[in-house]
Amino acid sequence: MIDTYVYSNALRDVHPAEKLSFALTAVLICLLTHSAVVLTLVLAIMTAATVYRAGIPLAFYVKALCLPLSFAVLGGIGVAVGVVAPGDDTVIGVTLLGKTIGITIVTAKEAALLVLKTVASMSGLFFFP
């Protein structure tokens, strides 16, 4: 199915080096930034380029992004959950054997940024199959 879209999309006649440089620029921006606004912008631009410019159906694109998104969410949970230090603002937590295991505001933000960074980077990689 992916091969069909690769060989029949509206950008099939564009030189591969041009598509690669566009995609790599997006991925590098994602890797170098820590701004949710920039990551969201990259995700929107790459999604628009893939769906509207290349002509890949939105339903197929979203379905293709679901697999890396699921791994990113699972990784984000691993980043968010940890041993909470006394005095940290806990969003949710459970105390076991005198230690609080939970999610803090800081770890929740880190996890959300990690998931967004992963999905935005994948949108760049999906532009160049």
Q: pLDDT > 70: what percent of the chain?
A: 92
Does residue 11 lie within any of the structural domains? no
The helix-helix angle for 58-80 and 105-127 (nearest 10°) equals 150
How far apart CA 4 and CA 118 sit, in angstroms, is 25
Domains identified in the chain, total number: 1
Does residue 110 lie within any of the structural domains? yes
Is the pLDDT score of 66 beyond 90?
Answer: yes
Does residue 119 lie within any of the structural domains? yes
Q: Which domain holds residue 83?
A: 16-126
Does residue 4 lie within any of the structural domains? no
The pLDDT of residue 38 is: 98
The pLDDT of residue 2 is: 63
Give the strand order in the sheet containing 90-96. Answer: 81-84, 99-104, 90-96
Does residue 2 lie within any of the structural domains? no
Does residue 84 lie within any of the structural domains? yes
- Residue 108: CB partners within 8 Å, gap ≥ 6? 80, 91
Does residue 51 lie within any of the structural domains? yes
Tokens representing 99?
Answer: 């230690």
Average pLDDT over residues 106-113: 96
Burial of 37 (C-beta count, 10 Å sphere; 0-12/13-18/19+)? exposed
Is the pLDDT score of 90 beyond 90?
Answer: no
Average pLDDT over residues 60-66: 91
Give 103's pLDDT tier (boundaries 50, 70, 90): very high
Does residue 5 lie within any of the structural domains? no
